[in-house]
């Protein structure tokens, strides 16, 4: 056998390992999903404080505060874009919500976990609709936006049932837009930035990035 003749087969094997089969999680998938969830739990804990602190600035029109809401949707979208396995988006978001409660959930306490369930399910549904084969700006923004819509519904039922119809609609629009931008575009940008560092080599997203798609 000629020297170096096994290089194509090794490259093919590496690409196969990166390509999600839609069925079985690898250890690296579980680790990365957990890391994303825990890392954003820390972000959530800080964001809870920030959200409460900025409330007076939006007293003139409370729905406008939703412009910073989308951060809570990031781990689900990000994990879905990177790991590309069924359940990755949902699991990362729920881990983030659960751990943020353990770190001190602020005024919202365990209701954060309920939000995590909804906000994780939303991008999961979007990725599933595309059969876990499309991971671009469309799926990222749809996943983030749908998560924002779910959170908006929960907010209006649990916290703002007395708001006027106009405020309720405005809140929903702002939350969907914030989540589409921060979680969708932001999550996609973060996934691509991580890919460029080489830390995502075991994932299909690394190969896709090299192809420029």
pLDDT tens for each residue of 67-112: 999 999 999 999 999 999 999 999 999 999 999 888 875 555 778 8
pLDDT tens for each residue of 157-198: 989 999 999 999 999 999 999 999 999 999 999 999 998 888
Residue 7 included in any domain: no
Residue 13 included in any domain: no
Across 84-98, b (16+ Cβ under 10 Å) vs e yields bbbbbbbbbbbbbbb
Residue 106 included in any domain: yes
Q: Which domain covers residue 108, as residue numbers?
A: 26-55+63-204
Q: What is the CATH number of the domain that holds 78?
A: 1.10.1760
Residue 209 included in any domain: no
- Supply the pTM of this predicted model: 0.84
Give me the pLDDT at residue 210, please.
Answer: 44
Residue 113 included in any domain: yes
Give how many domains the chain has, as a whole number.
1
């Amino acid at each position: 056998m000629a020297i170096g003749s096994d290089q194509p087969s090794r490259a093919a094997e590496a690409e196969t390992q990166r390509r999600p089969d839609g069925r079985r999680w690898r250890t690296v998938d579980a680790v990365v999903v957990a890391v994303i969830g825990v890392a954003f739990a820390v972000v959530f804990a800080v964001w809870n404080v920030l959200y409460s602190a900025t409330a007076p600035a939006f007293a003139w029109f409370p729905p406008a505060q939703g412009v910073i809401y989308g951060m809570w949707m990031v781990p689900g979208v990000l994990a879905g874009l990177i790991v590309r396995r069924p359940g990755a988006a949902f699991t990362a978001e729920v881990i983030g919500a659960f751990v943020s409660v353990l770190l001190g959930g602020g005024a919202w306490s365990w209701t954060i976990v309920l939000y995590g369930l909804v906000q994780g399910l939303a991008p999961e549904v979007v990725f599933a609709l595309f059969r876990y084969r499309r991971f671009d700006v469309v799926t990222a923004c749809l996943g983030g936006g749908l998560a924002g819509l779910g959170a908006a519904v929960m907010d209006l039922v649990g916290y703002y049932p007395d708001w006027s119809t106009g405020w309720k609609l405005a809140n929903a629009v702002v939350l969907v837009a914030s989540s589409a931008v921060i979680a969708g575009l932001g999550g996609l940008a973060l996934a691509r930035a991580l890919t460029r560092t080489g830390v995502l080599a075991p994932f299909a997203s690394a190969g896709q990035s090299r192809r420029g798609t």
